[in-house]
Structure 1
């Protein structure tokens, strides 16, 4: 009997000794990482970051977080150093330092997110909240300090590396020259804004050998004299589609609009409305999927990071092509040659048409997520509800990417060819990311 009671007591002791400390329950919750990514997404939205620069914010912050995870769990996760050929080895914690790698991962994300956004210190209050959360949950002081210090070391290393990507150089690069040349992009109403990030194709990619690695065929040549030619017919197609939109098609166009800064003009007054950028939308989708799959903290970080890399390289490749072609927007052609009073359903963004950026990056992200969860992963995307737009459901990520691409035709801002080509272009980029980068061992 005493032996039996001893066994019970021993078993209870083992169970209690295996119980996670409270700080691990709190700080290792993958939902906390999703909330942290969303916080950066909100800051990006509030401060009018264009889609391409937003993708830079996401990629460096996520890579910093992932490199911490890879350092803490080398048996299951591979460092990206060397896999991304220009990424140097990430610092390791000193031997006499204890680190909570999940907590350090969150902080590294925020430290880098703070450095690549503005105004300076945008995430300071959120970081203070994370630190207080760890202390309130009982994280030991030595573990707390070691985690903060290690997160700082990794963040500084990633920021030093980021400075070699030509971003600062492009800040002082020459502006796009507007020319009244047939078939060439010119600013469109109501903003008539200067061309956005004309030198983004000069940014150093992560996986692509260069921005020009994957280049599709040229779009149809300008020709408005031949009313049966490809160029004129593609413009007429956009006009006819927009003129007969169904309620469902308008919903699709609104859902994927993702205009980071829309200028609304009412009489003599004007005001701006903001939404997530296309990349921010796919960061939200990544959060939806990782939550649905109940992934652990470390795997959640890895999926966000791989998706962010695909988005980043997708924008670089697409922007190189845009300013290589300098292709005219449908709005310009339709209002000049078909109907002067015509307007697109959504606002035309300020950069050349070919190819569709949303098509490229959506397809790139979809390939990454498909590689992780399969081609029949059905989900409902409620990302746009905070902007008053109802959710949409999709049978797969690839179906969502095609929906995003075609929404640009429904919105009247792209020719269909640019969306079909962009979808294929993005898929090739996403597949290259999956092929070249190994996250899990």
Structure 2
């Protein structure tokens, strides 16, 4: 959707290179109408059962615009959206998930208590055609540490102590952090981007580019981390802690009843951590776009109604969101440090190579 909005608005604005669709358009066409129409067309084609609600939102958006250039903007938005959808029609996202066979060795990913899902999620996602990356494995990290290593034992002890339900080691703020960020992490970062956009009074064209860069980075970050997750198939902390007697490391001690602070673990392998990947990518895009690291803002939790937290920079929010997964009890520290590098790599590649100024020399 954001790619379509960007190409539609940029066709009118003309200051940056297109993402996929190069279209000649009048500079007098309404950028706002083009953005609204492009978003509506993409969402309608992807979610036709929501047509009534989508049509209502479109009409409300268009009603706020003057007639000047509105019809041309709508036509541009619809045209670009349809072309983007056609180009992505066979990208693999609609393929059925790949049946997963759980391994039996120590370190292998296993279905996690207490709900024990029969299959992990998005087993096919590494096969989805990337939006910007050259391949899903372009920035694939090396594997997790050996189970017998000191690094593994240190990370094991950390999450075992801080991430257990009702931990007596984690502070009240650390426990709150684990719960606060335990939602769809892309949503948090889009909220942060909205806050920054409003504070900086971005134009329609600037907003189109910002949210396209952000969400193209997220889309490819998801493809990249699922490539890594299903390459290494590493067990989650809850399995590792309950089955520590099998890991061959004398420094780890099993707790057969251990459960994480957030109770249920996301049903996919642990390494690398998704929150770390997405948060690093989000902070990198926003820092690059606004050309500043320091910016004061609040974030509202997706899962704790009305709870907000305050930050003074994009990297500070990214670091807290990343470390929250230890306090939530669902990731090892090495999942997160590796995830941060992967997120940085993906975002840097997108920002350096896509939606760049027409004045920039390649």
Normalization by structure 2: what TM-score?
Answer: 0.87
CA distance in 1 between partners of 2:302 and 2:332 (Å): 28
Alignment of 1:62 onto 2:2: yes
SS in structure 2 at match of 1:163: coil
Match of 1:404 in 2: 321
Give the number of aligned pairs: 343
Provide, for residues 63-111 of structure 1, a one-character-per-residue CA deviation record: whole Å limited to 9, x for no partner: 111111111011x232123xxxxxxx34445x8x974232121110121
CA distance in 1 between partners of 2:212 and 2:7 (Å): 10
Match of 1:4 in 2: none
Contact persistence 1:334–1:342 (CA under 8 A) = yes
Deviation at 1:386, TM superposition (A): 7.5
Provide, for residues 178-210 of structure 1, a one-character-per-residue CA deviation record: whole Å limited to 9, x for no partner: 233321111112322221001211111122211
Match of 1:46 in 2: none
Equivalent positions of 1:250-289 (< 5 A) are 250-258=175-183, 277-289=184-196
SS in structure 1 at match of 2:261: coil
Distance change >3 Å, CA 389–CA 412, structure 1 → 2:
farther
Distance change >3 Å, CA 409–CA 375, structure 1 → 2:
farther
Alignment of 1:364 onto 2:281: yes
Match of 1:23 in 2: none
Pick from 103, 121, 132 the counterpart of residue 196 of structure 1.
121
Deviation at 1:417, TM superposition (A): 0.8
SS in structure 2 at match of 1:216: coil
Distance change >3 Å, CA 135–CA 216, structure 1 → 2:
closer
Alignment of 1:239 onto 2:164: no
Pick from 287, 300, 310 the counterpart of residue 217 of structure 2.
310
Larger Rg over CA atoms: 1
CA distance in 2 between partners of 1:392 and 1:133 (Å): 31
Distance change >3 Å, CA 324–CA 397, structure 1 → 2:
same
Contact persistence 1:331–1:344 (CA under 8 A) = yes
Contact persistence 1:380–1:391 (CA under 8 A) = no
Equivalent positions of 1:37-436 (< 5 A) are 61-74=1-14, 76-81=15-20, 89-92=21-24, 99-117=29-47, 120-122=48-50, 124-135=52-63, 138-139=66-67, 143-168=69-94, 170-171=95-96, 173-193=97-117, 194-223=119-148, 229-242=150-163, 243=167, 244-258=169-183, 277-337=184-244, 338-346=254-262, 347-384=264-301, 387-436=304-353
What is the Cα-based RMSD across aligned positions, in Å? 2.3
Distance change >3 Å, CA 219–CA 137, structure 1 → 2:
closer
Give unpaired runs (5+ residues) of structure 1: 1-60, 82-88, 259-276
Name the one with the larger helix percent. 1
CA distance in 1 between partners of 2:155 and 2:61 (Å): 56
Give unpaired runs (5+ residues) of structure 2: 245-253
